Chains A and B, each alone.
Chain A
Amino acid sequence: MGAVSLENIVKRFGSFTAVEQTSLTIAEGTFTTLLGPSGCGKTTTLRMIAGLLDPTEGDIVIGGKRVNDVPIHKRNLGLVFQNYALFPHKTVADNVGFGLRYRKVGRAEMARRVREALELVQLPHLAGRYPKALSGGQQQRIALARAIVIEPEVLLLDEPLSALDANLREDMRVELKRIQERIGVTTVFVTHDQSEALAMSDQIVVMSDGRVEQMGAPEEVYNTPASEFVARFLGASNILDGRCLSRGAPGAELEVPVFGKVMVPSARAPHLGGEGPAKLVIRAERLLLRDAPPEGGAFSAPATVETVDYQGQSVRYFVRAGEVQLQAINMIDERPFPVGAQVHMTLRPQDCAALPG
């Protein structure tokens, strides 16, 4: 097992810069997710760690050793691909045992370790089958078994769940996390799916246009986004442009359209310096629609329902308050508000986050 660190990594393809000056540290035994839209450089970063791409500048360190010049087959990494990449001409057992053939492992030990790996992914009965005869989910479990049977220093997962259908994806998510915790291997996971990232990670690295936008624990990234990009990419957010009137120890006072003055607690405004242009981030799930204005101190503003997107236990509304359109995702008891209904939006300031403008 080993920690991974990238030190001032840059990757250029000709004049195109895929990854700009990036440094990040992945602690031993943790599950780190590189999250971002396609083309953000997350897969390029993963492939550099794997040794499938050479960084243009900077160093890659795995387990304390600089590995820039170590070819992929000597790095001892487990790699799982989006399309499984099983060897179609080999049985499941031969697929899983493939890496052991190059590791001076005796016949008996090889059989034992293959069996254990297949048990770990709960498919020991498929040992004799060929990949073609397996479902997508089974193939991906076999690919995982093949990657971990060699006891890699680092497990690299390149969108391993995105080829699976929705239900299976959630099962595999739980399964993958269970296996990772069980064997405690340092894991780097690449995805564009925020819910996968939030559910599985110890650390999330949000990337955009080849840059790291934010790095932190899932709650941290979700609750206190460091940029508008992060706020928009993780979850549904409303972002109101306004001004910071004052910044003190208890919090920052923002003045924004619709809600007027809002006091955001300091913990929710770590990236906001002082007075000046600022943005207020309101999660759609935190913007509650009510028939009547709330009693007491909660913030409130009237609005008109424009669109209703009914999803069973919850509803996504688009409401209008003057010039501004906002979205709200609310749990409902019985029936949603109809289009055109006059509602009151309520909001707790501690559920908002503030960003520099």
Chain B
Amino acid sequence: MGWNLIRVYAVLVYLFMFLPVAVVVLLSFNASQFGAFPMAGFSMRWFVALWENDAVMRAFRTSLLLGLLCAIISTTLGVLASLALVRYRIPGRNLLTTVLIAPILVPEVVMAVALLLFLNFIGIGRSFPMLLAGHVIFTLPFVILVVQARLVGIRRDVEEAALSLGASPRQTFFAVTLPLLMPAVAAGALFAFTISFDNITGTLFWKPGGVETVPTQIFAMLRHSISPEINALGTVMIVLTVGLPLLGAALARRLAMKSGV
């Protein structure tokens, strides 16, 4: 009896969480131009409309570029920072870790305002590079947390063995450390991409005039009307931000199985 109640409760929780998402996905295939039930038939017209909407496509390209650059920069910085924090004795290590992780703990809107005020203070206007810098600040902690956890598990003596066999420290990093770190690097990059891709709070504050990312574009469109195009855009975003990490995880697992790590 008790277990049945818990089952029902669990199903209700899942419904509460995922029903809205399901509705959006379902309605994005609705033939009617009113985004409401009952559905008038299956159609891809809103996806086509998206494709033909210049503003949306521009926002999409901006988000993609922003996400990719953010992933590359965050991952590179995150790996380097993790190496320094885990492999070397550096003064103030704990303080440094806390500072690097802090952006997760500080409320996003506070971070957003703070960076904007700081940029104003030093007289740098809003621009794409500044937007990118903001996204990197947000995503770096996730990369560091993931990479650091993995790096701690890579035994130092494996690297020492490579050194003793004649590989320089740099060669050792690329031949041994990085390949062993790869699952974490890939996970970190995916985190960075998805977090950047659907960030809205910071982006609203930092984006230069005339530049829109997908989330800010949706936000802008919602102010006028609830177009079924938004449902289609939502579906595309779900596919990207859910599908990509799942794909990445599956890929990482296959790689790991092959190499027996």
> Which A residues are within 8 Å of any B CB, using their own CB?
50, 52, 71-79, 81, 83, 85-90, 98-99, 101-103, 130-133, 143, 146-147, 150, 156
Contact = CB atoms under 8 A, between A and B. Distances in A.
Interface in B167-191: 167-169, 171-172, 175-176, 179-180
A77 B164 contact: yes
Interface residues of B, number: 22
A60 to B, nearest CB: 15
B224 interface: no
Interface in B235-261: 259-261
B166 A81 contact: no
A101 B167 CA distance: 9
9 contacts: A72-B160, A73-B165, A89-B179, A89-B180, A98-B162, A98-B167, A130-B259, A132-B260, A132-B261
B68 interface: no
Contacts of A77: 164
A76 B175 CA distance: 18
B172 to A, nearest CB: 8
Nearest to B176: A87
Given A81-B157, A83-B155, A102-B171, A88 B164 contact: no
A72 B163 contact: yes
B165 A146 contact: yes
B163 A88 contact: no
Nearest to A95: B161
B220 interface: no
A315 B260 CA distance: 47
Which of B163, B168, B169, B176 gathers most chain A CB within 10 Å? B163
Contact of A85 (B158, B172, B175): B158
A133 B166 contact: no
Given A77-B164, A89-B259, 20 more contacts: A71-B163, A73-B164, A73-B169, A78-B164, A79-B160, A79-B164, A81-B160, A85-B155, A85-B157, A87-B158, A88-B158, A88-B260, A89-B180, A90-B259, A98-B165, A101-B167, A102-B165, A102-B166, A132-B260, A150-B165
B160 A52 contact: yes
Contacts of B168: 71, 73
Nearest to B166: A102
Which of B162, B165, B259 gathers most chain A CB within 10 Å? B165
A76 B260 contact: no
A79 B155 CA distance: 15
Contacts of B160: 50, 52, 72, 79, 81, 85
Which of A86, A102, A150 gathers most chain B CB within 10 Å? A102
A76 B259 contact: no
* Interface secondary structure of A, over-half rule: mixed
B162 A131 contact: no
Interface of B: 155, 157-158, 160-169, 171-172, 175-176, 179-180, 259-261
Nearest to A96: B165
A271 B189 CA distance: 67
A133 B257 CA distance: 12
A150 B171 CA distance: 17
Contacts of A101: 167
A87 B157 CA distance: 10
Contact of B261 (A50, A72, A88): A88
Nearest to B172: A73
Nearest to A50: B164
Contacts of B164: 50, 72-73, 75, 77-79, 147, 156
Contacts of A132: 260-261
A73 B167 CA distance: 6
Contact of A83 (B157, B165, B172, B259): B157
A186 B157 CA distance: 22
Contact of B163 (A73, A81, A83, A130): A73
A-B pairs, top 6 by smallest CB distance, nearest first, are A99-B165, A130-B260, A102-B166, A79-B164, A132-B260, A85-B157
B164 to A, nearest CB: 4
Contacts of A74: 166
A201 to B, nearest CB: 22
Nearest to B165: A99
Which of A83, A85, A143 gathers most chain B CB within 10 Å? A85
Contact of A102 (B157, B167, B259): B167
Contacts of B180: 88-89
Given A81-B160, A81-B161, A87-B176, A99 B166 contact: yes
A89 B261 contact: yes
B166 A73 contact: yes
Nearest to A129: B260
A87 B158 CA distance: 6
A194 B177 CA distance: 36
A103 B260 contact: no
A53 to B, nearest CB: 11
Nearest to B161: A85
A303 B162 CA distance: 59
A110 to B, nearest CB: 13
B162 A87 contact: yes
A147 B162 CA distance: 10
Contacts of A90: 259
A133 B161 contact: no
